[in-house]
A = this chain, B = another copy of it.
Amino acid sequence: MYYPEPISKLVDSFTKLPGIGPKTAVRLAFFVLSMEEDDVLEFGKALVNAKRELTHCSNCGHITDKDPCNICTDPNRDNTLICVVQDPKDVIAMEKMKDFQGRYHVLNGAISPMDGIGPEDINVTSLIERLKDEEVEELILATNPTVEGEATAMYISRLVRPSGIRTTRIAHGLPVGGDLEYADEVTLSKAMEGRRDL
Protein backbone atom coordinates (compact mmCIF):
# COMPACT_ATOMS: atom_id res chain seq x y z
CA MET A 1 0.00 0.00 0.00
CA TYR A 2 1.90 2.98 -1.32
CA TYR A 3 -0.93 5.51 -1.21
CA PRO A 4 -2.87 6.91 1.73
CA GLU A 5 -6.23 5.13 1.82
CA PRO A 6 -8.41 7.98 0.49
CA ILE A 7 -6.25 8.13 -2.64
CA SER A 8 -6.12 4.40 -3.24
CA LYS A 9 -9.92 4.21 -2.92
CA LEU A 10 -10.29 6.98 -5.49
CA VAL A 11 -7.77 5.25 -7.76
CA ASP A 12 -9.80 2.03 -7.47
CA SER A 13 -12.97 3.88 -8.43
CA PHE A 14 -11.36 5.50 -11.45
CA THR A 15 -9.92 2.15 -12.55
CA LYS A 16 -13.46 0.78 -12.82
CA LEU A 17 -14.23 3.21 -15.65
CA PRO A 18 -13.70 1.96 -19.21
CA GLY A 19 -10.42 2.89 -20.88
CA ILE A 20 -8.82 4.05 -17.63
CA GLY A 21 -5.88 1.94 -16.54
CA PRO A 22 -4.00 2.11 -13.24
CA LYS A 23 -1.56 4.84 -14.37
CA THR A 24 -4.29 7.15 -15.69
CA ALA A 25 -6.32 6.47 -12.56
CA VAL A 26 -3.44 7.66 -10.38
CA ARG A 27 -2.99 10.74 -12.54
CA LEU A 28 -6.71 11.56 -12.30
CA ALA A 29 -6.80 10.95 -8.54
CA PHE A 30 -3.90 13.33 -7.98
CA PHE A 31 -5.57 15.84 -10.26
CA VAL A 32 -8.69 15.66 -8.09
CA LEU A 33 -6.53 16.62 -5.09
CA SER A 34 -5.46 19.76 -6.91
CA MET A 35 -9.03 20.70 -7.91
CA GLU A 36 -11.13 23.31 -6.12
CA GLU A 37 -13.16 21.72 -3.32
CA ASP A 38 -16.41 23.03 -4.85
CA ASP A 39 -15.68 21.36 -8.16
CA VAL A 40 -14.96 18.07 -6.44
CA LEU A 41 -18.18 18.26 -4.41
CA GLU A 42 -20.10 19.01 -7.57
CA PHE A 43 -18.45 16.07 -9.32
CA GLY A 44 -19.39 13.75 -6.46
CA LYS A 45 -22.95 15.04 -6.45
CA ALA A 46 -23.22 14.77 -10.24
CA LEU A 47 -22.17 11.11 -10.05
CA VAL A 48 -24.73 10.19 -7.44
CA ASN A 49 -27.49 12.29 -9.00
CA ALA A 50 -26.92 10.87 -12.46
CA LYS A 51 -27.34 7.41 -11.03
CA ARG A 52 -30.28 8.24 -8.76
CA GLU A 53 -32.35 10.76 -10.70
CA LEU A 54 -32.25 9.18 -14.12
CA THR A 55 -34.75 6.58 -15.18
CA HIS A 56 -36.04 5.28 -18.45
CA CYS A 57 -39.05 7.10 -19.87
CA SER A 58 -42.04 4.80 -19.37
CA ASN A 59 -43.29 5.72 -22.83
CA CYS A 60 -40.26 5.59 -25.12
CA GLY A 61 -37.50 4.03 -22.97
CA HIS A 62 -35.15 7.00 -23.41
CA ILE A 63 -33.08 8.03 -20.43
CA THR A 64 -34.62 10.98 -18.61
CA ASP A 65 -34.90 12.83 -15.31
CA LYS A 66 -38.65 13.29 -15.66
CA ASP A 67 -41.16 10.72 -16.81
CA PRO A 68 -42.40 10.96 -19.56
CA CYS A 69 -39.34 12.50 -21.18
CA ASN A 70 -39.01 15.90 -22.87
CA ILE A 71 -39.29 14.41 -26.32
CA CYS A 72 -42.45 12.44 -25.52
CA THR A 73 -44.14 15.50 -24.01
CA ASP A 74 -43.02 17.96 -26.72
CA PRO A 75 -46.26 19.04 -28.48
CA ASN A 76 -44.33 20.21 -31.58
CA ARG A 77 -43.23 16.73 -32.53
CA ASP A 78 -44.78 14.61 -35.20
CA ASN A 79 -46.87 11.80 -33.72
CA THR A 80 -47.04 9.92 -36.99
CA LEU A 81 -43.35 9.00 -37.04
CA ILE A 82 -41.50 6.78 -34.59
CA CYS A 83 -37.79 6.12 -34.91
CA VAL A 84 -36.68 2.92 -33.18
CA VAL A 85 -33.11 2.95 -31.84
CA GLN A 86 -31.08 0.63 -29.65
CA ASP A 87 -29.60 3.06 -27.18
CA PRO A 88 -30.24 6.45 -25.53
CA LYS A 89 -26.97 7.63 -27.09
CA ASP A 90 -28.51 6.97 -30.49
CA VAL A 91 -31.35 9.38 -29.68
CA ILE A 92 -28.75 12.02 -28.91
CA ALA A 93 -26.93 11.34 -32.19
CA MET A 94 -30.26 11.70 -34.02
CA GLU A 95 -31.13 14.89 -32.13
CA LYS A 96 -27.77 16.42 -33.04
CA MET A 97 -28.73 15.95 -36.68
CA LYS A 98 -31.64 18.41 -35.96
CA ASP A 99 -33.50 16.91 -38.91
CA PHE A 100 -35.88 14.43 -37.37
CA GLN A 101 -39.08 15.81 -35.90
CA GLY A 102 -40.85 12.58 -35.00
CA ARG A 103 -40.70 10.66 -31.75
CA TYR A 104 -38.36 7.91 -30.60
CA HIS A 105 -38.55 4.47 -29.15
CA VAL A 106 -35.44 3.22 -27.38
CA LEU A 107 -35.07 -0.56 -27.18
CA ASN A 108 -32.22 -0.41 -24.68
CA GLY A 109 -30.60 -3.38 -26.36
CA ALA A 110 -30.76 -5.60 -29.41
CA ILE A 111 -31.70 -9.20 -29.91
CA SER A 112 -28.56 -11.28 -29.54
CA PRO A 113 -29.03 -15.00 -28.98
CA MET A 114 -25.26 -15.39 -28.50
CA ASP A 115 -25.48 -13.18 -25.39
CA GLY A 116 -28.78 -14.70 -24.31
CA ILE A 117 -30.74 -11.54 -25.15
CA GLY A 118 -34.10 -12.41 -26.64
CA PRO A 119 -37.02 -10.25 -27.83
CA GLU A 120 -38.48 -10.27 -24.30
CA ASP A 121 -35.31 -8.60 -22.92
CA ILE A 122 -35.61 -5.47 -25.04
CA ASN A 123 -38.18 -2.71 -24.77
CA VAL A 124 -40.41 -4.02 -27.57
CA THR A 125 -43.75 -4.80 -25.86
CA SER A 126 -44.26 -1.14 -25.04
CA LEU A 127 -43.52 -0.29 -28.68
CA ILE A 128 -46.36 -2.54 -29.80
CA GLU A 129 -48.62 -0.88 -27.21
CA ARG A 130 -47.67 2.55 -28.54
CA LEU A 131 -48.49 1.48 -32.06
CA LYS A 132 -52.00 0.50 -30.95
CA ASP A 133 -52.69 3.77 -29.18
CA GLU A 134 -51.03 6.39 -31.28
CA GLU A 135 -51.69 7.65 -34.76
CA VAL A 136 -48.39 6.25 -36.05
CA GLU A 137 -47.97 6.04 -39.82
CA GLU A 138 -44.34 5.08 -40.15
CA LEU A 139 -41.88 3.18 -38.01
CA ILE A 140 -38.25 3.92 -38.91
CA LEU A 141 -35.98 1.11 -37.77
CA ALA A 142 -32.68 2.77 -36.95
CA THR A 143 -30.98 -0.05 -35.07
CA ASN A 144 -27.25 -0.42 -35.71
CA PRO A 145 -26.07 -1.97 -38.99
CA THR A 146 -24.70 -5.01 -37.14
CA VAL A 147 -25.89 -8.62 -37.05
CA GLU A 148 -27.81 -7.93 -33.82
CA GLY A 149 -29.26 -4.65 -35.07
CA GLU A 150 -30.37 -6.23 -38.36
CA ALA A 151 -31.95 -9.17 -36.57
CA THR A 152 -33.80 -6.80 -34.25
CA ALA A 153 -35.03 -4.67 -37.14
CA MET A 154 -36.19 -7.78 -38.97
CA TYR A 155 -37.98 -9.07 -35.87
CA ILE A 156 -39.80 -5.80 -35.26
CA SER A 157 -40.80 -5.35 -38.89
CA ARG A 158 -42.38 -8.83 -38.88
CA LEU A 159 -44.12 -8.12 -35.61
CA VAL A 160 -45.57 -4.86 -36.92
CA ARG A 161 -46.54 -6.10 -40.38
CA PRO A 162 -50.09 -7.26 -39.43
CA SER A 163 -50.94 -3.75 -38.21
CA GLY A 164 -50.32 -2.33 -41.68
CA ILE A 165 -48.05 0.42 -40.40
CA ARG A 166 -45.26 1.26 -42.83
CA THR A 167 -41.87 0.10 -41.51
CA THR A 168 -38.66 1.43 -43.04
CA ARG A 169 -35.01 0.75 -42.39
CA ILE A 170 -32.37 3.51 -42.47
CA ALA A 171 -30.05 3.28 -45.48
CA HIS A 172 -26.78 1.38 -45.48
CA GLY A 173 -24.01 2.60 -47.72
CA LEU A 174 -20.84 4.62 -47.84
CA PRO A 175 -20.51 7.22 -45.09
CA VAL A 176 -20.20 10.80 -46.34
CA GLY A 177 -16.52 11.70 -46.64
CA GLY A 178 -15.68 8.00 -46.90
CA ASP A 179 -13.48 6.45 -49.52
CA LEU A 180 -14.57 3.72 -51.91
CA GLU A 181 -11.08 2.28 -51.80
CA TYR A 182 -11.25 1.66 -48.07
CA ALA A 183 -14.88 0.56 -47.85
CA ASP A 184 -15.38 -3.04 -46.76
CA GLU A 185 -17.08 -5.47 -49.13
CA VAL A 186 -20.33 -5.70 -47.18
CA THR A 187 -20.79 -1.93 -47.01
CA LEU A 188 -19.97 -1.63 -50.70
CA SER A 189 -22.42 -4.36 -51.60
CA LYS A 190 -25.11 -2.65 -49.48
CA ALA A 191 -24.32 0.66 -51.18
CA MET A 192 -24.73 -0.93 -54.62
CA GLU A 193 -27.91 -2.68 -53.57
CA GLY A 194 -29.38 0.58 -52.24
CA ARG A 195 -28.52 2.65 -55.32
CA ARG A 196 -31.09 5.19 -56.46
CA ASP A 197 -32.01 6.97 -59.67
CA LEU A 198 -30.52 10.41 -60.04
Residues of A at the B interface (CB closer than 8 Å) are 2-7, 9-10, 12-13, 16-19, 24, 26-33, 35, 37, 39-54, 63-65, 69-70, 88-89, 92, 95-96
Contacts and interface: CB of A to CB of B under 8 A. Distances in A.
Q: This chain: how many copies in the complex?
A: 2
A70 to B, nearest CB: 8
Contact of A10 (B41, B46, B89): B46
A6 B44 contact: no
A49 B6 contact: yes
Given A47-B40, A47-B47, A53 B6 contact: yes
A50 B16 contact: no
A44 to B, nearest CB: 4
Given A9-B42, A27-B18, A31-B17, A92 B3 contact: yes
Given A18-B27, A31-B17, A39-B16, A10 B63 contact: no
A43 B6 contact: no
A18 B31 contact: yes
B19 A50 contact: no
